[in-house]
């Protein structure tokens, strides 16, 4: 196996994934995919169902352990074998189901697992007021959304608000560097989609890198800097948004461009 140079380069991209392979039994879900990502950059991954998009990002978020290949963060070789390691590296994922506890309010969800405490009579109690204030602040300043009532259970919030809460949690949970979003606009109405796309631009401007899986090329082209097309476990093309058109991307997705020839 070829060992890449072990030295740590200062100009290394935020994230590099080299020749990632993952198979389930005899099925190659991801067959040697490489990608790189800079801080504040948004990479969209598109492709048909079963193209390997989800598997690839689940390798990054520690849901699946990779079989082959390597992952580098800022040039440093990292090992991601579980979700916790991934989070410690500043990688968070917001999946379609958002992973919220519906009966808790926004603050309860944002601070879940690392609640703010307050000492009373030598005992530690949850500081619900401070968490509510702080969650409202993160939502307002970093996610760009104001909830009508910060104390309402997330069950009663709209799809976009719920997504904002999930993102606020991702921001607060770690020193967020990479946010993986799986179909962020699939369940949203037009107004909320606009808000979510604006939110994504906002995250980019704060230096957070985005990896977005989406079927909606309109949305992809509004937020992504580059678009990677996957088919049958391989990355068949990575296109620059400024030079490519939706038709180009579509052609790669449906295999109208003969990539195997040449």
Partner 1 sequence: MIMALCLVMAFADLRFFRVQNLMIILQDASIFLVLAMGMTLVITGRGIDLSVGSVAALSAVIMAMLIKDVGFNVFVAMAVAILVGVACGSVNGFVVTKLRVPDLIATLSTDLVFRGLALVLAAGMVLARFPDPLTWIGRGRIFDLLPVAAVIGVIAIAVGYVLYRYTPLGRYAVAIGGNTEAALLTGIDVHRHKIYQYMLLGGLAGLAGILLTGRLNAIQATAGMGLTLHTIAAVVVGGTSLFGGRGSMTGTLVGVLLLSMVVNALVMLRLDFFWQQVAAGLIIITSVAFYAALQDPSTGGLSGLLRRARSGRS
Taking the complex as a whole, the smallest distance from the CB of residue 183 to partner 1 amounts, in Å, to 18
- Smaller CB distance to partner 1: residue 99 or 207? 99
Pairing of strands 226-231, 42-47: parallel
Place of tokens 């740590």: 8
**Lateral strand order in the sheet of 42-47:** 91-94, 178-182, 209-213, 42-47, 226-231, 234-240
Considering only 28, 38, 104, 232, the residue that binds partner 1 (CB under 8 A) is: 104
Residue from 27, 101, 254, 256 that binds partner 1 (CB under 8 A)? Answer: 101
Binding status of residue 83 toward partner 1 by CB under 8 A: yes
The piece of 11-19, 42-50, 123-131, 245-253 that touches partner 1 (CB under 8 A) is 123-131
Asked whether position 103 contacts partner 1 by CB under 8 A, the answer is yes
CB of 41 to partner 1, least distance (A): 25
Number of chain residues interacting with partner 1 (CB under 8 A): 21
Angle at 118 between CA 115 and CA 120, to 5 degrees: 140
From candidates 12, 28, 39, 126, binder to partner 1 by CB under 8 A? 126
Smallest separation (angstroms) from partner 1 to the CB of 16:
25
Binding status of residue 150 toward partner 1 by CB under 8 A = no
Question: Which residue, 34 or 128, is less far from partner 1 as judged by CB?
Answer: 128
CA distances from 222 to 114, 218, 242 (A): 34, 6, 11
CA–chain centroid gap for 86, Å, is 12
Asked if 254 is part of the footprint of partner 1 (rule: CB under 8 A), the reply reads no
- 112 touches partner 1 (CB under 8 A): yes
Which pair of tokens denotes residue 253?
A: 């997705």
Q: Which residues lie below 8 Å from residue 72, measured CB to CB, with a gap of 6+?
A: 12, 15, 16, 17, 18, 78
Q: Under the criterion CB under 8 A, does residue 129 sit at the interface with partner 1? A: no
What tokens were used for 219? 């949305």
Binding region for partner 1 (CB under 8 A) out of 26-34, 46-54, 113-121, 222-230? 113-121
- Closer by beta carbon to partner 1, 33 or else 57: 57
Binding range to partner 1, per CB under 8 A, among 6-14, 26-34, 79-87, 133-141: 79-87
Distance CA 174, CA 218 (A): 30
Among 173, 186, 198, 257, binds partner 1 (CB under 8 A): 173
Which position among 65, 102, 146, 240 is part of the footprint of partner 1 (CB under 8 A)? 102
Site of interaction with partner 1 (CB under 8 A): 83-84, 87, 99-104, 108, 112-115, 124-126, 128, 156, 169, 173
């Amino acid at each position: 196996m070829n060992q890449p140079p072990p030295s740590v380069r200062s100009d290394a991209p935020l994230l590099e994934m080299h020749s990632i392979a993952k198979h389930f039994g005899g099925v190659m879900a991801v067959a040697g995919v490489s990608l790189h990502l800079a801080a504040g950059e948004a990479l969209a991954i598109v492709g048909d169902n079963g193209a390997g998009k989800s598997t690839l990002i689940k390798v990054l978020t520690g849901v699946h352990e990779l079989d082959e290949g390597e992952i580098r963060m800022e040039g440093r070789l990292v090992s991601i074998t579980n979700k916790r390691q991934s989070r410690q590296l500043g990688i968070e994922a917001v999946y379609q189901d958002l992973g919220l506890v519906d009966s808790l309010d926004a603050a309860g969800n944002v601070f879940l697992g690392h609640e703010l405490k307050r000492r009373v009579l030598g005992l530690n109690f949850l500081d619900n007021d401070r968490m509510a204030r702080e969650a409202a602040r993160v939502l307002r300043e970093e996610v760009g959304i104001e909830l009508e009532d910060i104390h309402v259970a997330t069950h009663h919030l709209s799809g976009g608000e719920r997504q904002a809460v999930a993102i606020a949690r991702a921001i607060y949970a770690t020193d967020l560097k990479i946010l993986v979003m799986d179909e962020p606009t699939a369940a949203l109405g037009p107004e909320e989609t606009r808000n979510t796309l604006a939110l994504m631009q906002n995250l980019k401007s704060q230096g957070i890198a985005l990896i977005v899986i989406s079927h909606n090329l309109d949305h992809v082209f509004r937020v992504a800097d580059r678009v990677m097309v996957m088919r049958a476990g391989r990355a068949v093309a990575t296109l620059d948004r400024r030079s490519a058109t939706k038709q180009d991307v579509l052609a790669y997705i449906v295999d109208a461009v003969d990539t195997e020839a040449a």
